Structure 1
Amino acid sequence: MRRSHPTLAVLCLSVFVVGTSEYLISGLLPQTAADLDVSVGTAGQAVTAYALGVVIGGPVVAALTIRVPRKGLALGLMLLFAAGSAVSAAAPTFAWLLAGRVVSSLSHAAFLALALVMATSVAPPGRAGTAISTVASGFTVATLLGVPLGALLGERAGWRAPFVVLTALALAGAALLAVVLPRQDPPAAWLREEIAVVLRRPVLLAIATTAVGFSGVAVVFTYLAPLLTGVSGFSAAAVSGLLLAYGAGSFLGNLLAGRLTDRSMSATVRGVFGGLAGVLVVFPFAVGWQPAAVAAVLVLGLLSTATIAPLQGLILRHAGDAPTLAVAANVGAFNLGAAAGAVLGGVITAAGALRWSGLAGAVLSLTGLALTFLVLPRARRVAEPRLSGVADQA
């Protein structure tokens, strides 16, 4: 895997830049609202606009660029992201900020899907899971470091400064991609073949597994801070430390899951969902005692992103030589699951049952686990090497 290291490293860096943008604005809402003369609630729609761009626009962009050579597409998507970030940084009105966010979001799912597929194309046989988790770790580091550092920069230098930095990093990432990415011909598959892959029963089930299973994490994580302060009695500073530990755990869990996926995809994905269901069931009881709450947060962090490698690997296994649109749809499914979980968690919180949100999350994780038994039996018929070389023509 040594020869693939530079490619994976630059793909990981690029995913970090793109991933940082998604939730960056969340920590800058008061400053943004005041500067653009809108309410904080209205400013929050910049998060919604980005999420919709990822869920809806990502697969559309991926579909429209199926026949574009992969290296040129990667560069184009990074430049599109840079353009959106620049518009956001210079936005004179809130409408311009929304426009910049949407432009950036259009490259998000398509670029992440392309990065994951390209990662498998440079990975040695039997190491596709590790390659996927390596590139996906850029997203977990974005959550762990990129978003908090961006928020800190925004507090000190104004909310526009982080978007200026993102623009510069995106341009640097595009330059590095131009150097390290190998030239690749356009995929042999046409759009109709990509659509046919997405409509396959195992692929649809895998996408549903992603959306449903990941929503279980979002039900609890979205409201984790008020849960830890209001029920566990932690201070705001202690909660910040726990969230940092959660992020570190998610980073390690993602990398570990990649290695385990290379050994057994079915055991990994079922083990992760089973573990998530278990920790979410005990969460309402663990938060009543601070040491147990700390342990529950750490385990939840470890398992939260461990679904990425096996679920993306599952998509790639069934996608054959037409994986791009399916992977982009699965990236959107992660975002859809996060949004759905946040909505459900909000309903539970509004009903005064914040402490018991883990039980709803456990039901969703168990549903995701049940779905894996529908999709994985057919996966056994497909040879393992297919996952490692599925993107050779991507």
Structure 2
Amino acid sequence: MPLPLYLLAVAVFAMGTSEFMLAGLLPDIASDLDVTVATAGALTSAFAVGMMIGAPLVAALARNWPRRSSLLAFVLVFTAAHAVGAVTTSFPVMFATRVVAALANAGFLAVALTAATTLVPPGRKGRALAVLLSGTTVATIAGVPGGSLIGTLFGWRAAFWTVTALCLPAALGILKGIPAGGEREREDAADKPALRAELARLTGRRLLLAMLLGALVNAATFASFTFLAPVVTGTARLGEWWISVVLAFFGAGSLIGVTVAGRLSDRRPGLVIAVGGPLLLLGWPALAVLAGEPVALLTLAFVQGALSFALGSTLITRILYEAAEAPTMAGSYATAALNAGAAIGPLIAATTLATGFGNLGPLWASALLVATALLTAFPFRTEAAGG
């Protein structure tokens, strides 16, 4: 895999750390900003909504910009938003910074997803995306638990400053590793279809199905991931330090899931969906029933991380294949679909916290969302598998 691909993954790591680390910081943010944990959970949805709306919008605006300039601008805006978030004492201001950061992240990821597939031969899109998304999975292994640990030791604001600092070497890596727009990029620009033609791809049934399934699976992932901290400290009765451990197990599983799926999603996507989907469906209720047992909690966090990201990354690959005739917008379609799920999942999960399910409500909500995805996919097995 080419070096620029790994440099893009570094930036994705910094942004992924920000997106996911709130799972371990929500109780402290809620207390400091004088809101409930459920209200603080809306910060995750705000980020996801910003990415969902921002991905196609920013991608359309930036489709004729040089890739290096676009990627660098997005990283710098993302950095500034976190600096403001680190000092604010207002929940509405914090909410606004999450939306701005999300717009920057959306633009970056939309351009990066498209750029990644142009750096490798056509038949290796899945492998390229596995490298790019490894930045996200490493964030869940190291960045997110690290952010939670920093938050426990020094306060949640220190975690935001850490993300700000992480963005600086990512920006330098883009400057040094991504070539400036040259002859090849100008030739690619000349060959681009019109924006209207790229948007017309959204009428394709196979593309819409892949986007819907990706949204549902990611909704399930974020529904539980966002509210894992109360499960660890409440249901399992473990100390705050264990939040980082559980998140690390989830992240380790996600890295393995993305890596394995990256080798299968180009040639055998149907296998990943057919095997991983039912297992993912069984895993969320199992976690809800066994969450009070620390060993089971750690084991199932690992397994669910692997299955969630294996299925999710495979569906991203399917979206990019189905949107191949929309080269500048394909990445934004994948980003919008996944973040539609990331926005909806925590909102659905938050409604379960005040029910009889309590802290375990989000886990049952995840099971329902995965079941909906499988029921939706079943009549269209050929389309879902890309066969």
Residues 133 and 308, structure 1, Cα contact 8 Å, conserved in 2:
no
Q: Which among 312, 318, 331 is matched to residue 314 of structure 1?
A: 318
Which runs of no fewer than 5 residues in structure 2 stay unpaired?
Answer: none
Provide, for residues 339-368 of structure 1, a one-character-per-residue CA deviation record: whole Å limited to 9, x for no partner.
333233333332212457655433422332
The 3 A distance-change label for structure 1 pair 94 and 138 is same
Taking the TM superposition and a 5 Å limit, the aligned residue runs for 1:335-346 are 335-346=339-350
1:302, distance to aligned residue in structure 2 (A): 1.6
- Say yes or no: does 1:264 pair with 2:268: yes
Q: Which one of the candidate residues 5, 24, 32 is aligned to 1:8? A: 5
State the match for 1:334 in structure 2.
338
Q: Deviations over 1:128-173 (max 9, x none)?
A: 2121011111112223322332344455556544444433432332
Query: What's the TM-score, normalizing by structure 2?
Result: 0.83
Describe the SS at the equivalent of 1:56.
helix
Mark the CA change 1:87 to 1:359 in structure 2 (over 3 Å): closer, same or farther: closer
Shift of 1:207: 1.1
Of 248, 252, 257, the residue aligned with 2:256 is 252
For residues 119 and 341 of structure 1, do their structure 2 counterparts lie closer, same or farther at Cα, with a shift above 3 Å needed? same
Are the equivalent residues in 1 in contact too, given 2:145–2:244 (CA < 8 A)? no
RMSD: 3.2
Percent of aligned positions that are identical: 37
Matches for 1:152-163 after TM superposition, within 5 Å: 152-154=149-151, 159-163=156-160
Alignment correspondent of 1:60: 57
- Superposed counterparts of 1:134-145, under 5 Å: 134-145=131-142
Contact 2:45 2:342 in 1 (8 A): no
State the distance in 2 between where 1:34 and 1:366 align. Answer: 35
Matching residue within 35, 38, 49 for 1:40: 35
Check conservation: 1:188, 1:321, Cα contact below 8 A: no
Tell me by how many angstroms 1:217 deviates.
Answer: 3.2
Partner of 1:362: 367
Give TM-score scaled by structure 1 length.
Answer: 0.82
Partner of 2:200: 196
Return the alpha-carbon distance in structure 1 between the equivalents of residues 324 and 97 of structure 2: 35
Number of aligned residue pairs: give it. 377
Residue 302 of structure 2 corresponds to residue 302 of structure 1: no
Q: Distance in 2 between matches of 1:352 and 1:188?
A: 54
Query: Do 1:213 and 1:366's aligned partners in 2 also have CA atoms closer than 8 Å?
Result: no
Assess if the C-alpha contact under 8 Å between 1:253 and 1:301 holds in 2.
yes
In the TM superposition, what are the counterparts of 1:1-394 in structure 2 within 5 Å? Answer: 1=1, 4=2, 6-24=3-21, 27=24, 38-41=33-36, 46-89=43-86, 91=88, 96-154=93-151, 159-182=156-179, 183=181, 184-185=185-186, 186=189, 188-228=192-232, 230-232=234-236, 234=238, 236-238=240-242, 240-287=244-291, 291-354=295-358, 355=360, 358-373=363-378, 377-378=382-383
What is the CA deviation profile of residues 194-253 of structure 1, one whole-angstrom value per residue up to 9, with x for unaligned ones?
Answer: 211223222221111111222233444444444455555555545543332122111211
Structure 1, gaps ≥5 residues long = 383-394
Partner amino acid, structure 2, of 1:102: V
Q: Which letter does structure 2 place at the counterpart of 1:22?
A: E
SS in 2 for 1:263: coil
- The amino acid across from 1:181 in the alignment is I
User: Counterpart of 2:337 in structure 1: which amino acid?
Assistant: A
